Amino acid sequence: MLVAQALNLLYNIVDRIYIGKIPEDGTIALAGVGLCFPVITLVTAFANLFGLGGAPLCSIARGQQDEAGARKIMTNAYFMLLLTGIVLTALGIALHKPILYLLGASDATYPYAASYLTIYLLGTIFVMTSLGLNPYINSQGFARIGMLTVLLGAMANIVLDPVFIFVLDMGVRGAAVATILSQLLSAAWVLRFLTGRKTELRMNFRAFRPDFGCIRKITLLGTASFVMSFTDSLVQGVCNAMLRQFGGDLYISVMTVINSVRQIAQTPVMAISDGASPVISFNYGARAYKRVRQAIRFMTQLGFGYTLLIWGLISAFPTFFIRIFNHETELIHAAVPALHLYFFGFVMMAFQFAGQCVFKSLGRARMAIFFSIFRKVIIVVPLTLLLPHICGLGVNGVFLAEPISNCVGGLLCYVTMRLTVLLQLKQKDERETSS
């Protein structure tokens, strides 16, 4: 899972690495692509809604030896992925201009943003298929195949990006074309496996009819992952709009770089929680409560150690991480202090990921949704809108909102999980042992 997440990281940031190196236009082009993040994240949110929403249910069904129920969950999830992909493509292309200006585009950045986004949206169904169905491969225990899904797309993107951007001189349009072609390859790989002989749950649409009861269950559990991604999209949009007001296009480029560094930093801890999720779900379905508790403890300790280490590295070598994406002196000068502010207290993210993972894996959808909304919507968005106006903080206020939310939201999520889920698991384990 860690290798798969690292490859997925390359998939997501390689465009920015190459775009930031475009001669003369690198910084402004980086800002344009950064403006597309909220929309791209929204597409990911819908993929997670039916992908990560159904995968734990699929694991629980398999733990209960209900293969037919697990197969039905996967098939209905893909039906919704396809339907949602079509709707998002049509709406996104039709409304992309007002959306981009709402998200902070200027007349200088809009051409770059529009060029990237309109092409990217044409591949929405490929994105929905590869991202939405890959969790069903992992939920069956085929983590290596799931890793290869991402590897295929990531390697294709790394190879195609410089060809389309520099050799064919297509700029940001080339980056978008390379991305959707790479997603097409990943989608084809996923479908080939899930309809082939090696899979334990073969997807088959023969005589298929949507089961709206099943879709409702998937959607309810997936709402937690959807809200997490959707609120990320909301925060990105609000941040870009405020940075445009207080700092201009340069600081949108800075935020693009910082978001990219954040993806690098949080990838391993996300892999830890994603890897723990099917283990927690399967053993909970099999009533192996002691193993569930062991998985939660191991996941939390490993995540804490990692986030503490990466926080130290980013604090000590900020310029190194910034130069991955851009070498221009003006951007580096603005990005270094912003990076220090944004990552302060990053270690608290380990507790946020652990708590959210447990709630999702055990089907506690309401708790997972609440803490997603609490950290992003109730804390980050209001602070992002308020802090820039206080004591002349300006752009620094935008970057301070994230660490405050990490400390408050992360700690509250984890403490609540310990006082509810872990306590109940311990009681169930004692009853199973005594009986």
Contact 292, 283 (CB under 8 A): yes
CA dihedral 411, 299, 278, 181 (to 10 degrees): 90
99: nearest Cα among 125, 126, 117, 81 = 117
Look up tokens 């969950």; give the residue.
Answer: 73
| pLDDT for 370 | 85
pTM: 0.79
Angle between helices 67-102 and 212-246 (to 10 degrees): 30
Predicted confidence (pLDDT) at residue 15 exceeds the cutoff of 90: no
Torsion 222-293-307-153 (CA) sign: negative
Neighbours of 107 (CB within 10 A): 7
Contact 54, 102 (CB under 8 A): no
Predicted confidence (pLDDT) at residue 362 exceeds the cutoff of 80: yes
Predicted confidence (pLDDT) at residue 227 exceeds the cutoff of 90: no
Indicate the pLDDT class of residue 338, thresholds 50, 70 and 90: very high
Contact 194, 137 (CB under 8 A): yes
**Residue 138 backbone zone (phi > 0: left; psi -120 to 50: alpha; other: beta):** alpha
Contact 373, 430 (CB under 8 A): no
| pLDDT for 421 | 84
Predicted confidence (pLDDT) at residue 4 exceeds the cutoff of 70: no
Angle between helices 249-285 and 349-361 (to 10 degrees): 40
Predicted confidence (pLDDT) at residue 277 exceeds the cutoff of 70: yes
Structure confidence by residue, pLDDT tens digits, 229-259:
888 888 889 999 999 999 989 999 999 999 9
Rounded to an integer, the average pLDDT of 291-302 is: 91
Question: Which of 71-75, 96-100, 167-171, 205-209 comes out lowest in average pLDDT?
Answer: 205-209
Look up tokens 């609540």; give the residue.
Answer: 416
Rounded to an integer, the average pLDDT of 348-356 is: 90
Q: Which residues are within 8 A (CB) of 308 and not within 5 positions of it... i.e. 6 or more apart? A: 347
Query: For residue 166, what is the DSSP state?
Result: I
DSSP string, 30-98: HHHHHHHHHHHHHHHHHHHHHHHHHHHHHHHHHHTT-HHHHHHHHHHHHHHHHHHHHHHHHHHHHHHHH
Predicted confidence (pLDDT) at residue 308 exceeds the cutoff of 70: yes
Rounded to an integer, the average pLDDT of 207-224 is: 84
Predicted confidence (pLDDT) at residue 9 exceeds the cutoff of 80: no
Question: Which of 75-79, 222-226, 245-249, 266-270 comes out lowest in average pLDDT?
Answer: 222-226
What is the distance between the alpha carbons of residues 9 and 268, in angstroms, rounded to a whole number?
Answer: 10
Q: Which residues are within 8 A (CB) of 356 and not within 5 positions of it... i.e. 6 or more apart? A: 224, 228, 273, 368, 371, 372, 413
Predicted confidence (pLDDT) at residue 1 exceeds the cutoff of 70: no
Predicted confidence (pLDDT) at residue 430 exceeds the cutoff of 80: no
Using alpha carbons only, give the angle 44, 47, 52 rounded to the nearest 5 degrees: 110
| pLDDT for 375 | 86
| pLDDT for 47 | 92
Predicted confidence (pLDDT) at residue 113 exceeds the cutoff of 90: yes
CA dihedral 345, 351, 354, 358 (to 10 degrees): -140
Rounded to an integer, the average pLDDT of 410-434 is: 83
| pLDDT for 435 | 64
Structure confidence by residue, pLDDT tens digits, 372-395:
788 888 999 999 999 999 988 999
DSSP string, 90-158: HHHHHHHHHHHHHTT--TTTHHHHHHHHHHHHHTHHHHHHHHHHHHHHHTTT-HHHHHHHHHHHHHHHH
